[in-house]
Homo-oligomer: A and B are copies of this chain.
Amino acid sequence: MAGGRRDGGGNPDESRGPRSVRGSPLPAFGGTPPYGGRHTRLTTLRTMTDYRPPVTDIRWVLENVAGLGEISRIERFAHADPEVTSGILDEAGRFMAEVVAPLSRVGDRVGSRRNDDGSVTTPPGYREAYRRFVEAGWPAAAFPEEWGGGGLPTVVGIALQEMLTTADVAFSLCPMLTRSANELLLAHGSEEQRGLYLDKLTSGEWTGTMALTESHAGSDVGALSTRAVTADDGTWRITGTKIFITWGEHDLTDNSIHMVLARAPDAPPGTAGVSCFIVPKVLVRPDGTLGERNDVTCVSIEHKLGIHASPTCVLSFGDRGEGAIGHLVGELNSGMGYMFTMMNLARLMVGVEGLAVAERSYQQAAAYALERRQGRAVGDETGPSPIVRHPDVRRMLMLMRSGTEAMRCLMYRNGAAIDLGEHHPDPDVRERETALAGLLTPLSKAWGTDMGVELTSLGIQIHGGAGYIEETGAAQWWRDSRIAPIYEGTNGIQAIDLVSRKVAGDGGTAVRRLLDDLDADTAAAGNMVRTHLAAAIDACRQGTDWLLSAKRPDALAAASTYCRMLATTVAGGLLASATLGTGFSDEFLSDKAATTAFFSEQVVSGVPGMLPSVLAGAENLFGVPEERLV
């Protein structure tokens, strides 16, 4: 087998090629983890970058909400105990802040550009940063050890992805899509296919894309019409045009592996007739070396509201006439099922985009609010006071901060559920956690990305007039945030997935268990926090009961609001149920208690008020006939 597969365990560097650090996230780690609180290392970092990795916050959630201790008692994750993980986070934070974060502004201003020959030039600095990213081994960190990865749990991978995304959303999408393509290949590719592509995708030496969407097949993937026909040599010829292909063409690497959905002759209509093909940008010879350029062309890139550095491509397959050469993955007509393989992870990672932009926006807004002086705050002898002392500015900052922390609890617990669902030794735990991961994923994706938009908007508001000026940079996070509620399944589709499959699918078992657990785990919370949570949990239970007996249009009409109320409750409940943990300063823990109290009082308290909207049903929704809507 050409390259790639190694036996598990041991030093991940042993059997690798020339780049000795590839496959390990640990090579450069040497310092001691920062135990003081989110701001202890900031002074140094702040001189270098405007992103300050919230390593202590992340560690606190990993250890006290996501149960990293329990996860690292699983044999395959034994090397990822809290102490080692803390060191990795520290190192990752430094890398993202120093190498990746400085890209975000130039990436926004310059953007990726398509050249006349169909090539795409990324903004200045992206090639060098990507090279260093690969050399340091970060793409492989959370990929299974036996396949050349660092073998970290998914939940730690989520933490790394958070910091990468906060540093630069546009940059982060390239490894994210590569990871998805690679997971697909790992799960459904042949031995030969994995041998040819997997190692290169794991290391990041090549990148991967997911090529699903066509102009008339967006949310309705099954409507796609890209064709695939067999060739004499057993390969396939792909013809068609795909749109919205993230990082579909670029100059970061020598090759890109497109995972393309297409339809074979006589395939059944809809999703049942969709197959998945590997279509490399540059053909790969059996010995792994690069051959001819395949017939895949980037015919244009989109002019977008945000994430300007991420080239969103129209890819044309088979322009030269014969079709692009493709390799069938797995069975014919099974492509849609394969896509679901890594859907939880992919959707969770998009949810993390909401968290990431909110974090970045918060950091900028908080720094501004401490510096900018206007008026005299109540209690100050003289003005002008830093605007952070004005209650309404403080309110916006606390909404951002507490919302970001609550999102992190939800998403990291979601990542942990994926780990436990796949690898816990007890099959009952695996079953329960798998159900939980399925349930939490649409919450992370839909609520997380909606919150990303809302909180980055507050980040602009805190800047006043300066927030509307592009040079300030506050507006970029808001523009960057706006794609996440749309792609990887719109938030409306997430909500439908939630009510139809995740809640109704098991008759409400998983959601009821989750609510019961939250109820029990927050029984000891402070009086005010407990009161609001209990009311929120009760409202969620009522909403759930109603949904389970509702007619389909009524349930669909209620889906988005139900998703929001459940997500808010779960995130707030996880925040409130966190154990305090050891190794954190009193100040840090006091701040956590304060953000928990604020989130309960200001956000969780609003959950019962959403219930009437859920219970309303679809009648008034369709009260205006569609032709009179315009």
Contacts and interface: CB of A to CB of B under 8 A. Distances in A.
A613 interface: yes
Most buried by B among A37, A243, A366, A606: A606
**How many protomers of this protein does the assembly include?**
2
A386 interface: yes
A586 to B, nearest CB: 12
Nearest to A213: B465
A39 B628 contact: yes
B244 A465 contact: yes
A341 interface: no
Given A391-B557, A467-B486, A623 B610 contact: no
B478 A461 contact: no
A146 interface: no
A170 B20 CA distance: 57
B303 A220 contact: no
A42 interface: yes
Contact of A623 (B223, B482, B595, B612): B595
A219 B626 contact: no
B468 A630 contact: no
Contacts of A379: 553
Contact of A609 (B401, B492, B595, B605): B605
Given A468-B486, A556-B392, A220 B374 contact: yes
Given A532-B612, A606-B606, A609-B608, A39 B623 contact: no
Interface in A240-265: 243-244
Contact of A401 (B42, B607, B624): B624
A421 interface: no
Contact of A591 (B598, B601, B624): B624
A65 interface: no
A532 B390 CA distance: 33
B630 A601 contact: no
A496 interface: yes
Contacts of A2: none
A389 interface: yes
Given A374-B218, A395-B557, A468-B305, A626 B389 contact: yes
Nearest to A304: B468
A610 B620 contact: no
A453 B481 CA distance: 14
Contacts of A501: none
Contacts of A453: 457
A373 B219 CA distance: 10
Contacts of A397: 629
Interface stretch (A182-190, A275-283, A433-441, A469-477): A469-477
A299 interface: no
Given A490-B461, A491-B461, A609-B605, A370 B630 contact: yes
Nearest to A551: B378
A393 interface: yes
A532 B611 CA distance: 12
17 contacts: A220-B375, A303-B470, A303-B471, A369-B629, A370-B627, A391-B557, A392-B495, A392-B556, A392-B557, A392-B560, A461-B486, A464-B490, A479-B479, A591-B624, A598-B621, A605-B613, A609-B610
